[in-house]
Chain A
Amino acid sequence: MSTPQILMCPPQFYGIEYEINPWMSTARQADHALANQQWADLRAILEKTGSTIAEVVPVAGLPDLVFTANAALVFGKRAVLAHFKHAQRQGEEVHFRAWLEANGWEVIAPPPNFSFEGAGDALFCGDTLFAGYRMRSDARGHQAIVELLGVRVLPLELVDPYYYHLDTCFCPLAPDEAIYFPAAFDDYGRRVLAENVPHLHEVAEVEARNFACNAVVVGKSVITNTGCPELHSLLRSLDYNPVDTPLSEFVKAGGSAKCLTLRLDGEEAAGWKV
């Protein structure tokens, strides 16, 4: 098995400079030193799982570049580049494109005229790409990815603005297993998940609020923000190895462990990896 590869971006220019989700408040700034420490700790944990960490060079004026999960959807050596919904983040696209191209990925432009926020809204579980829409990515763009990549795509509507990306309320653990926060979806979405993920586990609201679903999965290790004891106990019962690490400064911007990483060699749950 190959070494897990993860793309991150140091939080040198990270801060709350605008408000594009309900978590963000420019009046409630991130503690810069603490953010640096939390990011470094996460990186260290990931390295301990055996992952290789690659870095995008941080850019002044692009505080959210730190959330590399939104850079692109990775599919083998092809990557569908993000096109951000908000102008504040669109400046990140050129930097993510440059890094991916420089490192050997064939970068595919997202379907034109649609917003698409990379792995934040597109997660493989088995052979199916689950794709969140309405808040940040467009359903129509997801439909175009079906033809772009030749994969099965099931769009899921996100109905709670606090869970504005799919990776804030749904996390595949393995090709047949995932955790999710039901209230972030409507009835249709819940039915689709129930019918298409054989082992689906609910996360309690209080833990979902702590970004329990925004977990990084490397092998059997599942890394989350602190404050998710119920989930961790469930994960242990399922033979996973949960690890928590404080990420409070990133939660202020609406992100946590998963948002700070982009799995470059394919998520553990991605069917195409096998």
Chain B
Amino acid sequence: MAEQHPELPLENSPQPHGFEEDVEVRGHIIDSLILPKVLDCITNLGGSFAIKNISIGQERTDPSFALVQVRAATDHLLQTILAQIADHGAVATLASDCQVIEADIPGTFPEGFYSTTNQQTEVRLAGKWQPVADQEMDCGISVNHKGGQARCVPMTDVKVGMPIVVGHAGVRVFPLERTRQGHAFGFMNSAVSTEKPKGVVIRQIAELLYAHRKSAGKSLLVGGPAIVHTGSGELVCELIRGGYIHKLFAGNALATHDIEQSLFGTSLGVNLREGSLADAGHEHHLRAINRVRRVGSIRKAVEQGIITSGIMYECVKNGVEFLLAGSIRDDGPLPDVITDALENQRQMRLAIRDVSFCLMIATTLHSIAVGNLLPASVKVVCVDINPSTVIKLNDRGSFQTVGLVTDVEPFLRALVEEVKRLEKN
């Protein structure tokens, strides 16, 4: 007869402790009472456990296997527990340090490099687990043995001699539980919502913005030109003035049409008040770009009184950091637009380090680009009229995104109202 599935608690404490390590126990661990003994040992020493995986042998001679997460309040206690249960044959699955090879060609990783996710990751250096800084998907991990530090490094930033982690040994990932990640939007079962009451979601987004207004974590807006085309620019201005947006990532188009509106009252030549086409309106955006280029920067144009309203104006006036990334279809572009794609990535990486909430509105490619850079711990709300934008973000690994499929203008209008209501309360 095979080993019987034990009547064991799968977890003895739902509260996570600060320090944890996975151990495996294999053999006839049920009949020999080794597994219950290991679990008792963990508990008696003051730790807790969760059985992450257990497989029971089919035949009498088949071994069983259990993967147990051991948790303790301090590293010292964890090490004490690990040492004791090791005597009973429970050993850490990741008992080795990470393997490192020095980069030999600039801008490339060594073959077999560890490819990162956007999830919290740790590497083992000299027997100690160290957090990986600047967590970002699709990067490598560079380590500094002396300082016991590790960080994500994009391929293009690799320099010769940089120690790069290879293989999976000594690397562990802490996946954000997908059920838990939704706590901010607890009622939403699907990441993309087309047929759900939007009011509730918008209220929650407003609460997040409100909470972030004075927190250490910054709120980032990634916006497309539809914000201006739909006449919602003033709503964004209100959020900026209210201190709800700390950073803005956009392209040439949003800034151009925003400035066009400030100078000519049109967006892409359309009069935003009347919805009518202005005479020679199609030239407006180019004339706007030209005027800013003549003075050298958006900031200077604001300071010289050329730009007197709009999103960019409010950014300058309210100290909101903005980063304009260029593309091959840009007119002009505006002098502030960074046209080197890699330089854009670098600056965006630096700018997102203190971001903990990101609102993406009406831009597909820019949203995906920023989604690629953000660690999974950053909450992302993506608002687009097109569901595929949100789906694309999810498909590319930014599963922490909550999507709202709606027109931009009514969304922003409702959001501003909710924020104001919170302010009143």
Q: How far is the CB of B60 from chain A (nearest CB, A)?
A: 6
Question: CB < 8 Å: which of A143, A147, A150, A188 contacts B33?
Answer: A188
Question: CB < 8 Å: which of A142, A156, A192 contacts B89?
Answer: A142
Are A154 and B87 touching (Cβ within 8 A)? no
Given A138-B89, A140-B91, A156-B32, also A151-B61 (CB < 8 A): yes
Q: How far is the CB of A274 from chain B (nearest CB, A)?
A: 16
Q: Mark B147-162, 1 if CB is under 8 A from A, else 0.
A: 0000000000000000
- A107 touches B (CB below 8 Å): no
| Residues on the B chain within 8 Å of A195, using CB | 31
Bound complex: CA A143 to CA B91 (Å): 12
- B231 touches A (CB below 8 Å): no
Are A143 and B63 touching (Cβ within 8 A)? yes
Are B87 and A152 touching (Cβ within 8 A)? no
Q: How far is the CB of A150 from chain B (nearest CB, A)?
A: 5
Q: Within B291-346, which residues are at the interface with A (CB < 8 Å)? A: none
Are A146 and B37 touching (Cβ within 8 A)? no
The chain A residue sitting closest to B63, CB to CB, is: A146
Are B60 and A127 touching (Cβ within 8 A)? yes
Question: CB < 8 Å: which of B25, B28, B37, B87 contacts A153?
Answer: B28
Are B26 and A143 touching (Cβ within 8 A)? yes
Q: Mark B1-45, 1 if CB is under 8 A from A, else 0.
A: 000000000000000000000000111110111101100000000
Bound complex: CA A157 to CA B89 (Å): 11
Are A150 and B61 touching (Cβ within 8 A)? yes
Q: Within A28-68, which residues are at the interface with B (CB < 8 Å)? A: none
- A139 touches B (CB below 8 Å): yes
| Residues on the B chain within 8 Å of A147, using CB | 63
Q: Mark A181-215, 1 if CB is under 8 A from B, else 0.
A: 00000001001100110000000000000000000
Bound complex: CA A138 to CA B27 (Å): 13
Are A157 and B88 touching (Cβ within 8 A)? yes
Are B27 and A155 touching (Cβ within 8 A)? yes
Are A192 and B91 touching (Cβ within 8 A)? no
| Residues on the A chain within 8 Å of B91, using CB | 140
Are A134 and B27 touching (Cβ within 8 A)? no
Are B27 and A153 touching (Cβ within 8 A)? yes
Q: How far is the CB of A179 from chain B (nearest CB, A)?
A: 20
The chain A residue sitting closest to B2, CB to CB, is: A152
Q: Within B40-97, which residues are at the interface with A (CB < 8 Å)? A: 60-61, 63, 86-89, 91
Are B89 and A143 touching (Cβ within 8 A)? yes
Are B28 and A152 touching (Cβ within 8 A)? yes
Q: Mark B358-392, 1 if CB is under 8 A from A, else 0.
A: 00000000000000000000000000000000000
The chain A residue sitting closest to B29, CB to CB, is: A143
Q: How far is the CB of B93 from chain A (nearest CB, A)?
A: 13
Q: How far is the CB of B295 from chain A (nearest CB, A)?
A: 72
Bound complex: CA A196 to CA B28 (Å): 12
Are B89 and A139 touching (Cβ within 8 A)? yes
Bound complex: CA A134 to CA B85 (Å): 11
Are B89 and A154 touching (Cβ within 8 A)? no
Bound complex: CA A143 to CA B155 (Å): 43
Given A127-B60, A147-B63, A150-B61, also A139-B28 (CB < 8 A): no
Bound complex: CA A155 to CA B63 (Å): 13
The chain A residue sitting closest to B32, CB to CB, is: A154
Bound complex: CA A146 to CA B30 (Å): 14
Residue among A146, A150, A153 having the largest count of chain B Cβ atoms under 10 Å: A146
Are A196 and B60 touching (Cβ within 8 A)? no
Given A139-B89, A150-B61, also A192-B33 (CB < 8 A): yes
| Residues on the A chain within 8 Å of B36, using CB | 188
The chain B residue sitting closest to A188, CB to CB, is: B33
Q: Within B79-122, which residues are at the interface with A (CB < 8 Å)? A: 86-89, 91
Q: How far is the CB of B188 from chain A (nearest CB, A)?
A: 45
Q: Within B119-145, which residues are at the interface with A (CB < 8 Å)? A: none
Please give 11 more A-B residue pairs, beta carbons under 8 A apart, in addition to A127-B60, A140-B86, A143-B27.
Answer: A138-B89, A143-B26, A143-B63, A150-B61, A152-B60, A154-B32, A155-B27, A155-B89, A157-B88, A188-B33, A192-B31
Cβ contacts A to B, 11 pairs, < 8 Å: A127-B60, A133-B88, A139-B88, A142-B27, A153-B27, A153-B32, A155-B32, A155-B89, A188-B33, A188-B36, A192-B32
- Give me the 5 closest cross-chain CB pairs, A-B, nearest first: A139-B89, A143-B27, A154-B32, A140-B89, A188-B33
